[in-house]
Amino acid sequence: MPVNKDGQREGEHPSEYLNDMVEWGNQQYNPGRYLGGDLPPHLKYPKPIIRWIAGLSLLFMLGSLIYQLIPFAPPFPSRPLQERAANPTAIHVDILSKQNLDSWDIGVEPRLTDKGFVIDVHREYRGQKPLEDVMIQTESTSVTSSPNQPYYKDATLGIPVQHDGQENKFIIKWTEEGMAREGTFVIKTTFQNETGENS
């Protein structure tokens, strides 16, 4: 149908043309037409990256819910409690007694080696008199030296720890102003295991 210079079809009333334009506009842009379920394509089919993100988020939330509902056993440590308790990861050393060692400082320090725990025993003389023939001994080892000086310090290294509750007795012998002297001290070793308790 021919149209005039105003864009109207000949023989058509202006109001009819306007109504047609309004109806066409409503069909194109009125969001209300989607309320019945007819979604536009960009909402019906979201981009792949959005679908991936939504899917992974849903899986993560579902996995978290399942993990909280099912009583899983703790993964670490996996060994039985009795076995872990039998294998110490640390030891504690106490000095149980000291006799005739008022002029000596005694120190003990546990140390872990590839063959197990050992104890370093340190002794330091705090007196002012020269010493001679200083010796420290246990049931299995002894160290002898003659410092001939008022200050004396050394260490007996590597006393092996063989069992829980082990006690070692040490004897220190020395000569002070021509007189032989002797003192003793006893240490006790306690195992500590992976459970954080004493064996």
Band (pLDDT 50/70/90 cuts) for residue 120 is: confident
What is the C-alpha to C-alpha distance for residues 6 and 72, in angstroms, rounded to an integer?
79
- By the 8 A CB rule, do 186 and 153 touch? no
What is the C-alpha to C-alpha distance for residues 175 and 189, in angstroms, rounded to an integer?
30
- By the 8 A CB rule, do 135 and 184 touch? no
Long-range contacts of 160-165 (CB under 8 A, 24+ apart): 160/115, 160/116, 160/117, 160/118, 161/91, 161/110, 161/116, 161/117, 161/118, 161/119, 161/189, 164/88, 164/189, 164/190, 164/191, 164/199, 165/189, 165/190
**CATH class of segment(s) 82-192:** mainly beta
Using one digit for the tens of pLDDT, what is the confidence trace for 12-52?
A: 555 555 666 666 666 555 555 545 555 555 555 556 777 78
Report yes or no on whether pTM surpasses 0.85: no
The pLDDT of residue 146: 46
**To which H or E segment does residue 157 belong?**
strand 152-160
Using one digit for the tens of pLDDT, what is the confidence trace for 56-114?
A: 888 888 888 777 776 654 554 444 444 444 556 678 888 888 999 888 888 888 877 77
- By the 8 A CB rule, do 171 and 152 touch? no
